[in-house]
């Protein structure tokens, strides 16, 4: 196991990481987008993005796009490279505000978090569409890990922390249990060649209706490219 440093809240760090990884000339068979913050107070990343949107979504958007060529080169007809992005059931109540993705008009920790998780689902579906259109041997799926007992909840109200402490053993998954669907998406033979799926408890399920809006997927993709400073070649595809 070898570790390379990457701060998903920093576009500079992401680009440096990708450069370091490419210099190793290694194949890339599985990419898991799993970093995240939840319910943080209003604050910005070093690039000026609202933290939920910047770290949870834009960081993964840029990282995935910069690694796509390597993923495409690593996948084969019989063994596709796989991209797994971790979202949340919170996306079901999320609303994507294309005119205010940074939540400048009205900031709500819950709203910003839910928006970032919805954006990840929209991104995954659009990405799979583009991969299929290009005939790439790469699949993209999105995972809901469930309610997992981790430090992700450190910014919730103190009463919720107490309730969590008292009931986690009964209602929360362990980190190992929470990772099971991500691992399933990454290595299961049943998922070979399958993309554009929303997975929960190792089963394909339906995401929020709005996530299937192809026009919204396209618009978010285009806006995301502008925000992170990469070419939107996908805009020329249907």
Lowest mean pLDDT among 67-71, 99-103, 145-149, 174-178: 145-149
Query: What is the per-residue pLDDT across 210-220, written as a single tens digit (0 to 9) for each?
Result: 999 999 999 99
Q: Which positions are annotated as active-site residues?
A: 113
Nearest-CA neighbor of 126 among 203, 223, 18, 27? Answer: 223
CA-CA distance, 53 to 216, in Å (whole number)?
16
Residue 148 confidence (pLDDT) above 60: no
- Position 150 scores a pLDDT of 52
Residue 115 near residue 97 (C-beta atoms within 8 A): yes
Average pLDDT, the chain: 88
Q: What is the DSSP track for 60-102?
A: HHHHHHHHHHHHHHH--SSS-EEEEEE--GGGGG----TT-TT
Query: Could you count the other beta carbons within 10 Å of the beta carbon of residue 197?
Result: 19
Query: pLDDT confidence of 35, banded at 50, 70, 90?
Result: confident
Checking if the pLDDT of 235 tops 60, the result is no
Tell me the average pLDDT across 150-176: 50
Between 7 and 154, the more confident residue is: 7
Indicate the pLDDT class of residue 171, thresholds 50, 70 and 90: low
Confidence of residue 158 (pLDDT cuts 50, 70, 90): very low
pTM of the model: 0.88
Per cent of the chain over pLDDT 70 is: 85
Instruction: Walk me through the domains of the chain, giving residue ranges and CATH numbers.
Output: 11-233 (3.40.50.720)
For residue 19, the model assigns a pLDDT of: 98
State residue 172's pLDDT score. Answer: 62
Please give the sequence-ordered ranges of beta strands (E in DSSP) within 38-197, or none if there are none: 81-86, 138-144
């Amino acid at each position: 196991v070898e570790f390379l440093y990457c701060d998903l809240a920093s576009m500079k760090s992401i680009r440096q990481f990708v450069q370091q990884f490419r210099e190793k000339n290694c194949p890339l068979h599985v990419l898991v987008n799993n970093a995240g913050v939840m319910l943080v107070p209003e604050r910005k990343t070093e690039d000026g993005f609202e933290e939920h949107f910047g770290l949870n979504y834009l960081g993964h958007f840029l990282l995935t796009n910069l690694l796509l060529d390597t993923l495409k080169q690593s996948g084969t007809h019989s063994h596709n490279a796989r991209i797994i992005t971790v979202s949340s059931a919170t996306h079901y109540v999320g609303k994507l505000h294309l005119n205010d993705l940074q939540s400048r008009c009205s900031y709500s920790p819950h709203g910003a978090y839910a928006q970032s998780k919805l954006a990840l689902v929209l991104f995954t579906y659009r990405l799979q569409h583009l991969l299929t259109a290009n005939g790439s041997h790469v699949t993209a799926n999105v995972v809901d890990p469930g309610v997992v007992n981790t430090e992700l909840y450190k910014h919730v109200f103190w009463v919720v922390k107490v309730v969590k402490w008292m009931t986690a053993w009964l209602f929360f998954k362990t980190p190992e249990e929470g990772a099971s669907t991500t691992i399933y998406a990454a290595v299961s033979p049943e998922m070979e060649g399958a993309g554009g799926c929303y997975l929960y408890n190792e089963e394909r399920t339906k995401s929020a209706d709005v996530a299937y809006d192809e026009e919204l997927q396209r618009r978010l993709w285009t806006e995301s490219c502008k925000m992170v400073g990469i070419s939107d070649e996908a805009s020329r595809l249907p």
